[in-house]
Structure 1
């Protein structure tokens, strides 16, 4: 039986985290899902896998909670369970930036769809004629597996470095439309908010990240594959696991796991 893999996150104010953690553990174990769920006062971040009926049942139950009713999920398939166990953790942040003033639940940064980004990259400029640059907010080892052609890569080793690097390179972004991107949207959302607050005028996040881009626009303007934080290690633009994962088998899996 094929295994359905889901990735999702939502910035939403959460309380009583321990009770939510216990409820999720009970449900996930009953349905035999494996993977990782991160909970924080700022929201939820998850990567889970199981046969499709179990995944669907879990999502139906989760969305009964009004806080998660509109949770957007990215799906992909594998022939084997890519996770060894289930982890449901409480963290200070669902994606660590060490910048508490950034509160995505209070309002999202402007986003562009995969189709819009493809159209801009095809043209070489946005709808107002400004040059468009893509900014990879992921870690360096993820970038090395695959990224957008000519993307800005600051060789980030952990996401907490992003604010400092942005301030160092901010002048080079002047006069350009900057589209931040990541695997599934969570890091580039926080990054885009920080850039806006730092004074970068024309900045957007890629809605749904690389995974959504693959789903809607395929491999256009993207070179390589997308690193994912499970035993598949990477998926191609068809969202299929790469065949040869040997070169990635020792890649680190940092705290900034993202959906």
Structure 2
């Protein structure tokens, strides 16, 4: 598999969006990369595919900008480019939640890394002895493809539905450690910040999401495949294309999750 697929995001204030869009589009086009880059006042969210040389060239360009110097893309391989074209889009949010008071740039919610979460799940509690509750922040068609079996799944059609769902179910999490998770980290980061704003304690995000969990562990506790927003549809525990059909289209936002 010679095609390298990368995904990454960063919450950071951006005030030069049109110029940044043109610069990134030109660089991707010169490198023959395909995929999507979303730019908004709150940051960047990207999914790109191409040869190893081209991907490395783009990441080097990204790192030349001090605002993006610490971005560490998640990688997976495929035999073909899973995108039909290149798009660099300006948006209101890089992940739509419609709660403008949430500014992840102002400080991340505490994160738990993949090996630690696996250990917590193995032992049945966190390091302080509290029960661990996993919270899936993805859409229903994504959780149908794969999930942590005991995770709370609100069967939402769009991430914009998440605030109402958690507001109606806060009592479930009292006295427990909550770990929100998503595909690549962006939705579970916003979700964890929102829960902390609601006054909920012991809330973490899974750092790097499911993709990082599958990269850094043997996949224990995960069941099924991980839905991704490109032509591969989903990846397996080895981050290879899982070979499943595309789910039927749904209405609502398409929550791309780096």
Q: Same fold (TM over 0.5)?
A: yes
Instruction: Name the CA distance, whole Å, in 1 between partners of 2:147 and 2:40.
Output: 29
Instruction: Name the CA distance, whole Å, in 2 between partners of 1:81 and 1:201.
Output: 42
Helix, strand or coil for the counterpart of 2:74? Answer: strand
The worse-fitting range, judged by mean Cα deviation, of 248-257 and 22-31 is: 248-257
Per-residue CA deviation, residues 137-169 of structure 1 (Å, 9 max, x unaligned), is 000000000001200000011001111111001
Instruction: Name the CA distance, whole Å, in 2 between partners of 1:69 and 1:103.
Output: 20
1:66 is aligned to 66
2:257 is aligned to 258
Using the TM superposition, give the Cα deviation of residue 251 of structure 1 relative to its aligned residue in structure 2, in angstroms. 4.2
Instruction: Name the CA distance, whole Å, in 2 between partners of 1:162 and 1:249.
Output: 21
1:192-207 aligned at under 5 Å gives the runs 192-207=192-207
Using the TM superposition, give the Cα deviation of residue 196 of structure 1 relative to its aligned residue in structure 2, in angstroms. 0.5
Using the TM superposition, give the Cα deviation of residue 256 of structure 1 relative to its aligned residue in structure 2, in angstroms. 1.4
Instruction: Name the CA distance, whole Å, in 2 between partners of 1:115 and 1:80.
Output: 30
2:10 is aligned to 10
1:226 is aligned to 226
Gaps of 5+ in 1: none
Using the TM superposition, give the Cα deviation of residue 258 of structure 1 relative to its aligned residue in structure 2, in angstroms. 1.0
Using the TM superposition, give the Cα deviation of residue 77 of structure 1 relative to its aligned residue in structure 2, in angstroms. 0.2
2:191 is aligned to 191
Change (3 A) 1:174 1:249: closer
User: Do the aligned residues in 1 keep the contact of 2:133 with 2:177 (CA within 8 Å)?
Assistant: yes
Helix, strand or coil for the counterpart of 2:169? Answer: helix
2:106 is aligned to 106
Per-residue CA deviation, residues 36-66 of structure 1 (Å, 9 max, x unaligned), is 0000010000000001100000100111000
Instruction: Name the CA distance, whole Å, in 2 between partners of 1:237 and 1:67.
Output: 32
Using the TM superposition, give the Cα deviation of residue 249 of structure 1 relative to its aligned residue in structure 2, in angstroms. 5.2
Per-residue CA deviation, residues 94-146 of structure 1 (Å, 9 max, x unaligned), is 00000000000010000000011000000110011100010000000000000
1:134 is aligned to 134
TM-score, normalized by length of structure 2?
Answer: 0.97
Change (3 A) 1:44 1:239: same
Helix, strand or coil for the counterpart of 1:83? Answer: coil
1:208 is aligned to 208
User: Do the aligned residues in 2 keep the contact of 1:96 with 1:255 (CA within 8 Å)?
Assistant: no
Query: How many positions carry a matched residue from both structures?
Result: 257
